[in-house]
């Protein structure tokens, strides 16, 4: 009997540090565990880009139609170009796929390639660019 009590004391003695090592989690009134976690979303970091205002009239201006290669985008822009030519005096329409066919293929390409393409198209000095996105 005496031996048994000694063992009980020893077991309790050994368990105390284990209990102390377990962090005590505060319980809410409803008994749920309270969690503090780090936000996994991350902060958006974007450098602002300035966009030129559109011209106040298209008369006498140059409009570049930009096709990205997606099906029918060129046909859509073709019709827009026809209508612009009918409705607006002195407008000049440039079709990217005719003047710079190499700008058609990099669909879904990298940002670097997009910038390279835009530079090629900017060389035509358009007053406005109309791009067809599709699908």
Partner 1 sequence: MTIATTEFAGLAKDTALSQGVADGCFVTVSHPMGMIPLADIKEKAEKAFPQILKAAIEWKPVAKLPPQKPVYPAGRLEFKGTVEDINRQLYASGFSLGLPVIPPTPESVAAMLKGTNRKPDEVLGMVPPRMGALTVELVAIHAVMAGCKPEYMPVLIAALEGLLDPKANWRGATTTTATSAFLVIANGPIVDRIGIASRQGAAGSSHHANASIGYAVNLIAEIVGGSRPPSPDKSTLGGPADFVCWIFGENEDALPKGWEPFHVDRGFNRSDSVVTVMGIYPPVDNIDHWSVTPEEHINWWAHLVTPLLSIGGPAWITQMDQPHIVGLGPEHAQLLAGAGLNKDQFRKAFWEKARIPFSAWPKGSPNTDLLIRRFGPVKPETPIPITFKPEDFLIVIAGGSGKHSHFFAPFPGCFPVSRLVRK
Residue 9 binding partner 1, by CB under 8 A: no
**Measured distance CA(122)–CA(11) in Å, rounded:** 82
Q: Is 93 in the site for partner 1 (CB under 8 A)?
A: no
Please select the residue that binds partner 1; options are 9, 10, 101, 123, rule is CB under 8 A. Answer: 101
Phi, psi of 94 (to 5 degrees): -115, 130
Binding residue for partner 1, selected from 6, 75, 118, 122, defined by CB under 8 A: 75
- Pick the closer one to partner 1 by CB: 9 or 55: 55
Rounded CA-CA distance 119/2 in Å is 93
| Candidate list 3, 18, 20, 108; residue touching partner 1; CB under 8 A | 108
Neighbours of 125 (CB within 10 A): 9
State in angstroms the smallest separation of the CB of 98 from partner 1: 11
Query: Tokens standing for 89?
Result: 């005096």
Q: What are the CA-CA distances from residue 124 to residues 7, 18, 20, 62 (Å)?
A: 92, 76, 75, 9
Interacting residues toward partner 1 by CB under 8 A: 28, 30, 32-51, 53-58, 63, 69-73, 75-80, 83-84, 87, 97, 101, 104-113, 128-135
């Amino acid at each position: 009997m005496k031996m048994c009590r000694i063992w009980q004391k020893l077991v309790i003695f050994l368990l105390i540090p284990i209990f102390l090592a377990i962090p005590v989690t505060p319980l809410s009134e409803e008994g749920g565990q309270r969690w503090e976690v780090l936000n996994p979303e991350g902060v958006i970091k974007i450098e602002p880009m300035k966009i030129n205002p559109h011209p106040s009239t298209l008369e006498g201006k140059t409009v570049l139609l930009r096709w990205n290669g997606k099906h029918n985008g060129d046909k859509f822009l073709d019709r827009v170009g026809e209508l612009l030519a009918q409705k607006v005096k002195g407008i000049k329409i440039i079709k990217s796929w005719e003047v710079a066919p190499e700008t058609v293929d990099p669909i879904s390409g990298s940002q670097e390639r997009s910038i390279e393409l835009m530079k090629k198209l900017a060389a035509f000095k358009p007053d406005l660019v109309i791009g067809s996105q599709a699908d």
